[in-house]
Structures are given as structure tokens and as C-alpha cells.
Structure 1
Amino acid sequence: MRLNYKLWLEEEQRLFGDGPCHILELVDQLGSLRQAAAEINMSYSQAWKLINKLEKRLGFKLLNKQIGGSSGGGSELTEKGRFLTKRFSDFRKEAQVYLKKLEEKYFDQDFQQKLKKNKV
């Protein structure tokens, strides 16, 4: 038995979470939304729709995009996009540490044995 959870930011509706954060981290690493989408087996058009939807909900641009041409185009995170992605990623990493400690405190082997032996 193990704890499972999802974290996201919301404002009346879900705004930003693990999926968007991951694809933006990949764009930052790869310099391309197309390559980032391919890395997670997402279609390019689906990735574009996700980014556009996020930008509308958040009220600011996440990506600077260069269309094709001889250099092949590409994408990079805007300053706000990088700030949001880094903050969310850092928060998620820190939350995982604390949640792991809480999981060990409340759902340790002793807890699991008591459940199995009906000694609750």
C-alpha cells in the first residue's frame, strides 16, 4: 500500500499541474514543442491546443515560438513561463519529500500489519 496524489494550481478551475509542467520542462530542454510532444507521445496539435488553452487561462504567454524557416523554428519558455514552471517543479519536489515522511508516519508496516490482522 502506498500514498498516491496529484497536485495542481487552480482558480475556479484547474490551471496548471504536472502534465503542463512536464511538457514545458521538455520544451525548455529540447527547444521545441514538437520534440517535447513527441517525447511524451502527444500529437503536436494536441500540445499546441494545451499551450494555447493554458495561456488563455493564465493570462500570459508561456512560449515564444519561431515558425519554421531554414533554421527549422523552435520554442522557448517566456520569462513568466520559466518562472511558473520552476516554482511549480520546486514545490512539487519539496511536497514529495514531506508527503513521503507523512506516508511513512501514518501508513508504515505496523499500520499495514494491523489492517491485515484486523487489530485496529
Structure 2
Amino acid sequence: MDLDINYKLWLEKDGSKVFGPGPAKMLELVDRMGSLKRAAETMDMSYSQAWNLLDSLEKRLGFELTEGKAGGSRGGGSRLTEKGRILLRKYRGLEKDFAGRVQELADDYFDGKRSEGDRC
């Protein structure tokens, strides 16, 4: 059967969502571009939305994800903290492993390996 499996993966703390695909993408863009402002623009967000999201994430996680210097005539910049880099790397690794296992399970269930008698 030609079915696609769809799911969303995020991290929670005390029952509240603290990290997922959107924040991961934002951190990757900050890392690549060296700027929260430019990352926000790329994601069609205002700088204030991006800053508020980052601030909220950091408060819920209990550690800083980025560090940087304020703007001005020479411009500012942002980069990931070591903890931010580790969180992003672990999340992307989990995401990749999870996708592989979900696909294996879907194949087992829908290609008949797990439920021979009731294949769709």
C-alpha cells in the first residue's frame, strides 16, 4: 500500500513544549548566518518575534541558546552557545533516528511483516 507516515516530534519539559522543528530551524539559520535578525527574516518572522521565541525557549530550557553582541554602526551578531549547539545536534540526531524507525514500523505494519492476516 502506498501510504506516507506523518508525525511531529518535539521536546517537552513539565508537560510544555520546549523545542521542536521551528526553533531548530531558527538556530541553524543563526549558526549559518551569524545573526538572529537575518535568521528571522529568512523565516518570515519579525526580529521581535524571533527574539521573544528565543527568550521563551531559553527560560523554559534553563540555559542560553545563543550569545552575541548588540548592533550599531558596525552591526551585531549572534552565535550558538555550546549548549545550544549540543541541543541542536542531539535534536537533529533524534529526528533522523526517529524518522528511520517510524518508517521501519510503517513498513512492518503496512507491508504485512507484522500483521500478515490483515494486510490493507
Question: TM-score band, normalised by the shorter chain?
Answer: 0.7 to 0.9
Count of aligned positions: 113
Matched, 1:35 2:25: no
Name the amino acid aligned to 2:66: L
5+ residue gaps, structure 2: none
- Matches for 1:29-68 after TM superposition, within 5 Å: 29-68=32-71
Residues 43-90 of structure 1: per-residue CA shift (max 9 Å, x gap): 111100000001111111111021113331011001111111111011
TM-score computed with the length of structure 2 as normaliser: 0.84
Identity across matched positions, percent: 50
SS of the counterpart of 1:69? coil
Kindly provide the amino acid, as one letter, of the partner of residue 103 in structure 1. Answer: A
1:82 pairs with 2:85: yes
Tell me the residue number matched to 1:71: 74
Tell me the C-alpha RMSD between the 2 structures.
1.9
Aligned counterpart, 1:2: 4
Alignment of 1:90-109 (within 5 A): 90-108=93-111
Offset of 1:94 from its aligned partner? 1.4
Deviating above 4 A after TM superposition, structure 1's stretches of 4 or more consecutive aligned residues are none
SS at structure 1 position matched to 2:68: strand
